[in-house]
Amino acid sequence: MNKKIIVLSGDGIGPEVIAQAEKVIKAVDVTYNHKFELENGLIGASSIDTTGEPLTDEVIEKCKNADAVLLGAIGDPKYDNDPSIKVRPEQGLLKLRKALELYSNIRPINTYDILKEVSPLKNEKLEGVDLVIYRELTGGIYFGEKKLSADGNTASDLCSYSKEEVSRIAKLAFEAAQLRSKKLTLVDKANVLETSRLWRKVVQDMAADYPEVNVEYMFVDNAAMQLVLNPASFDVVLTENMFGDITSDLASVLTGSLGMLPSSSLGKNVGMFEPCHGSYPQAAGKDVANPMATILSVAMMYDYFGLYDEAIAIRESVNWALKEHVVTEDITKENPSPCSVVGDLIAYHIEEQGDVQLNKNYIKDSKNCII
C-alpha cells in the first residue's frame, strides 16, 4: 500500500519522538511491503521562527492532500509568559484542526504492569482500567468569539455548540461503545451550562437508536473525582472540547506516564495522529523523551488505514520493549534507555517479527545489544 504522510515535528521534544516514529514506519514498510512517503512541514514555534506564522496556508494544503498527518508536539516557553504576544504556537494546532475539520479526538487510556508502580494510584485502583475518551475538537470555548475590553479590564470567551456538532461525535462514541463494553458516559456540566444541556438532550435523543448501550450522565467535577477513585468504572467517555482536554490529561496520569498516551483526531477526510504529551522543552535535545506515545499513535494511524496486522505488530513491539525494560527515564530511573535506542529496538523488533533477544549489558548501545 502507498500512502503520503505529512510529518509536523513541531517543537521541543517533538522532532526527537517523531524521529522514532519514522523508524517504525520504515520498519513496517520493509516488513509488510508498503511505501509510506513522508514529507515534512512546520508548525508551532518552529514555524513562527521561520515564517512568522504558527502554520502557513501552504502546509495546510499539503495536509489536506495527504492521507494522514503525523504531529509531534507544540509549544515553547518563550511564548507562554507574555500575555501581550499575539502570535502563539498553539494557534497553529487550532488552525489545523479547523482546516481539516478534525472534530473527533480519540484518546485510549490503558495501563501496563510495568507502570503500575509509577502511577500515583494504588495498584488495586488500576485493575481493569481500559477506557477511551471521545473529545469534541473543533467547537466550544476554544473556537468561540473572544473579546477584550478597550481598557483591558474585561475579557470573555464564547462557548457555542450546535446540534450537528454534538451529534456527529456522539455517533462515533455510540458506535465505539457498541464494540466495547456497551457503556457510554457523557461528561458535562448540565446543571450550570446551556451548552451542556444541549449536549445532554442530543445524546438522550440518540440513545434510543442504540438500545444496547447503557448511557450514564456525569457532571465534569464528579467525573474528575471518579477517574481517580474508580477509573475502571469508565469505558467510553464522551465530552466537549475543554472538558475533554482536562479529563484526558487527568486520565493520562493513571498510566504513570504521559509519554505512553497516543491519540487520533478524525474528521471528514484526513486523520491526524499525535501523542497526548506536550513539547517538554526542558528535555529537548537530551535524547531522554519517551517516544512510545508517538509510536502508539502510529499504530492508530495503521488502524485508520485498515492495516490491523501492522497496528498489532507495533503494539506488540511496544509491549515487548516494556517487558524488557527498554524504557526511558520517565518510567524508570534505574538504567533508562535513550529515546533513540527505544525507537531503534522497537523498529528492529518489527523487522524481525518478534524474534529478538537482548544483551541488557549493552542496551544503551542500541542494536549492539542484539544477541
Residues labelled as active-site residues? 142, 189, 221, 245, 249
C-alpha cell at 56: 502557513
Residues pairing with 265 in the sheet: 105, 272
How far apart CA 214 and CA 185 sit, in angstroms, is 8
Q: Where are the alpha helices (DSSP H) in the chain?
A: 14-32, 45-51, 57-64, 89-99, 123-126, 163-179, 194-207, 220-229, 241-252, 292-304, 308-323, 339-351
User: What size, in residues, is the chain?
Assistant: 371
CB atoms within 10 A of CB 33: 8
CB atoms within 10 A of CB 343: 27
How far apart CA 32 and CA 94 sit, in angstroms, is 34
CA-CA-CA-CA torsion for 28, 30, 32, 33, nearest 10 degrees? 130
How far apart CA 225 and CA 241 sit, in angstroms, is 19
How far apart CA 18 and CA 294 sit, in angstroms, is 7
Residues pairing with 271 in the sheet: 68
Please classify residue 169 by burial: count the beta carbons closer than 10 Å to its beta carbon, then call 0-12 exposed, 13-18 middle and 19+ buried.
buried
Nearest by Cα to 159 from 193, 121, 205: 193
* Secondary structure (DSSP) of 62-114: HHHTSSEEEEEE---GGGTS-TT----HHHHHHHHHHHTT--EEEEEEE--GG
Which is it for the CA torsion 69, 63, 277, 179, positive or negative? negative
Which is it for the CA torsion 9, 14, 16, 22, positive or negative? negative
How far apart CA 138 and CA 265 sit, in angstroms, is 10
